Amino acid sequence: MSAAPEGLSFEPGRIALRGVRFLLVRPETLVGFQKAVEGEAGDVAKRCLMAGGTDGGGRSARRLCDGGLKGREVVEAMCRMGTEIGWGRFRVEKYGDAGFEIAIEASPYAEAYGPSQKPVCHFLAGVARGIGEAVYGAAVAAEVACASAGAPACRFEVKKS
């Protein structure tokens, strides 16, 4: 097991990474919420989870941009952070002026969701879109492969729009 990420702090009732507050939640809890919304409202769950991921991922990526990082540096830093906070093992597969691809092995969302015929990591797709918006100004994102559907890793394509 590796050491805790640099900049991780704990105080009663608060966890932060480099000054940004985080919340420890079991993936099964989030997936339980996702499945409940899917059962009640179908595809609305996907749109809502993507919107939340876009907001959170965009905020973090813009903070990195404000700190002086640009383009690929932002994408790579966000991937390191995703790995550090336990959201799976992130890696940048491709990067260019028109878009990028991220692969995530051991996605906690896919593991908690279980087998599915279609991608289920909507929140992570939103995070990828938020990163793309911070880097390109506007972006679209899609999960093109998911471990829940049998892929070896979840894969996200982000395209500048």
Domains of the chain, by residue range, sit at 27-160
The predicted model gives 91-106 an average pLDDT of 98
Cα–Cα dist 61/105, whole Å: 21
- C-alpha–C-alpha distance, residues 133 and 121, integer Å: 19
Q: Is the pLDDT of residue 58 over 80?
A: yes
* Cα–Cα distance, 123 to 157 (Å, whole number): 14
- Going by pLDDT thresholds of 50, 70 and 90, the confidence category of residue 1 is low
Which structure tokens are listed for 40? 């009640």
H or E stretch at 21: strand 20-22
CA of 140: how far to CAs of 104, 112, 133, 159, in Å? 18, 25, 8, 5
Q: What is the CATH number of domain 27-160?
A: 3.30.1380.20
Distance separating alpha carbons of residues 77 and 12, to the nearest angstrom: 28
Average pLDDT of the residues of the chain: 94
- What pLDDT score does 106 carry? 97
- For the entire predicted model, the pTM comes to 0.92
Do 33 and 46 contact (CB within 8 A), yes or no? no
